[in-house]
Structure 1
């Protein structure tokens, strides 16, 4: 799938919160500012020693590497546009803490759920497509192992309710609610904003999805006690890339999610800042950097890819700009080897 970047201020993806606005412009009410400030913020992306060391390690690898950044690649433009995506408020935890604190106030006062990242139409497409992809993979596995094959839980593999699902950067958690409607039931959402987690929990209880588990955790430094068969990312990698240390943070992201996806599991990424081919190139770079290390740790005898491309959404509405046809959004699935 081709994709075209649109500057946040010109895009209709974030109509209520222009990227160039300051936090004080976004929240004019003093009480909402106080609510945002009341959340415990370690730093923009955590402040643990482990995270700091990983940041240093990633920066060293990046500076010594010959791999171009993902934004240096483009399958649908004649010239690379490495400087097109610049750091913005959307890359900072303080922005999201303030945003979700405001949304939490609106929920309590008016029952509002907040924004749907990329819009309801995109979310519906992603959920339906992901359900079909998981069902097809389950059917293929059932056929290979025999219809009587059981999963660890004793259920048939083809039953979507047996899929463990993690939504990274879950925000208000509405994506997980939509997945629940499609038959997934083992659902967990993480977000580094405690206000976002509280909002997601409140919405889930109100809407009849109290079984969804929400945890305050940073995807770059999450200490999870399990791995998941399906990991969803709708906009989180985009936000990480908008951090002032975006290239380093993105490297840390791939290392983190590789530890979250179970062997044979899926990683589904939806992005408005990266085309399908750019995501493929970024995964290829990650495989080259960490594939050998990953194989050695698992007792293998040679290098192997960590993630392998499976499929991408082909049904997003397309537009033509400057003679190039593409989509504002791309969704790509990778399988964890």
Structure 2
């Protein structure tokens, strides 16, 4: 890595003409930008199955010296801004890796054991309340043979037989984390609850948390949704950020295809998949499901005997859009209206 050192300051020479300030700033930009790409590219390390460990001490020493050399120039501020952007991109990639998740939940588990802290609600308490109550009403409507009606969903009154309807719904939470979503679903009346996560630390935390809060009936299993070992199907499958995290993985496109192949095996016919995302709009999630449907149709054998199967698949694809939450706060940007989070339900045919 190149390291730049400024020459020692010489005594003033009244006969020597100094360059204008703009040229001094430009020189600073050149000093900083020469090393910028190298520092930004090496500014993080991944210790996981998917990456390697860089020479942290040497890297940080070189970066510090390079930055120190350019500290006298205002261009260093621009460098800092650019490095923040590079670090943000790097962090985005790290969020898709298992070691990051293990470390995060190890901290939460320690905090829980030492101070009884409940842990972070990834999507926020208000959004989680919306997701669980909306999902409950959706499942009850389906159990009663009603098609979801968004016009009346906010006006629905509790039904005395809610628990009877919800008890027949087996629920799977993909990427359960600390398991708080399942606890909230239990409070809504769901009883057959299972959470999976590929982080063993997260599962330990979720079990400890559930036992302490009186939800020992919730089952927690270590399982990777991309290579799931589950053989059971569920009437309701919940995803609150797992698809987002998979999209941040360095091999995101391939992992997403694996995700949909696995999920399609876990949602029972007639069941529901509910996805909550902070990285996708409702329309983007619908498009992703349609892409899976088309890809799935293309996997049918190319022979005359499958013509009827293809027609059936076209008329009744694996997944169909069912409903979405319409009560999230919205904002306008560039003439378009959107929300910071989207929750969409799909029916499994």
Compute the TM-score of the two structures, normalised by the length of structure 1. Answer: 0.68
TM-score, reference length from structure 2: 0.66
What corresponds to 2:36 in structure 1? none
Q: Which of the numbers 70, 89, 95 marks the counterpart of 2:94?
A: 89
Instruction: Give the match for residue 199 of structure 1.
Output: 205
Contact 1:22 1:89 in 2 (8 A): no
Give the drift of 1:85.
Answer: 8.6
Alpha-carbon distance, 1:157 to partner: 10
Residue 225 of structure 1 pairs with residue 231 of structure 2: yes
Residue 188 of structure 1, CA deviation: 0.1
Find out whether 1:139 has 2:140 as its counterpart: no
1:281-316 CA-partner distances (Å, limit 9, x unpaired) = 1111110111364799xx994131111110000001
Give me the whole-angstrom Cα distance separating, in 2, the residues matched to 1:158 and 1:265.
17
SS at the partner of 1:162? coil
**Root mean square deviation, CA, Å:** 2.9
- Structure 2 partner of 1:273: 279
Among 223, 236, 245, which residue is 1:239 paired with?
245
Partner of 1:118: 123
**Structure number with larger C-alpha Rg:** 2
8 Å CA contact retained: 1:138, 1:158: no
* Structure with greater helix percent: 2
- 1:311 alignment counterpart: 323
Structure 2 partner of 1:257 = 263
**What do the CA deviations read for 1:48-87 (whole angstroms, capped 9, x no partner)?**
xxxxxxxxxxxxxxxxxxxxxxxxxxxxxxxxxxxx9985
Q: Which runs of 5+ in 1 are unaligned?
A: 1-20, 25-36, 46-83, 143-154
SS in 2 for 1:230: strand
Q: Confirm or deny: 8 A CA contact 2:177 2:206 kept in the other structure.
A: yes
Name the counterpart of 1:59: none
* Secondary structure at 1:188 match in 2: strand
Which residue of structure 2 lines up, in the alignment, with residue 208 of structure 1? 214
Change in Cα spacing, 1:262 to 1:157, as seen in structure 2 (3 Å) is farther
Aligned residues: 249
Tell me the equivalent position of 1:100: 105
Q: Distance in 2 between matches of 1:179 and 1:196?
A: 19
Structure 2, unpaired ranges of 5+: 1-42, 52-87, 148-160
Number of the residue aligned with 1:327: 339
Q: Give the distance between the partners of 1:203 and 1:226, measured in 2 at CA.
A: 25
1:320: how far off? 2.3
Q: Identify which of 149, 159, 162 aligns with 2:165.
A: 159
- Between 1 and 2, higher relative CO (CA 8 Å, sep ≥ 6) is seen in 1
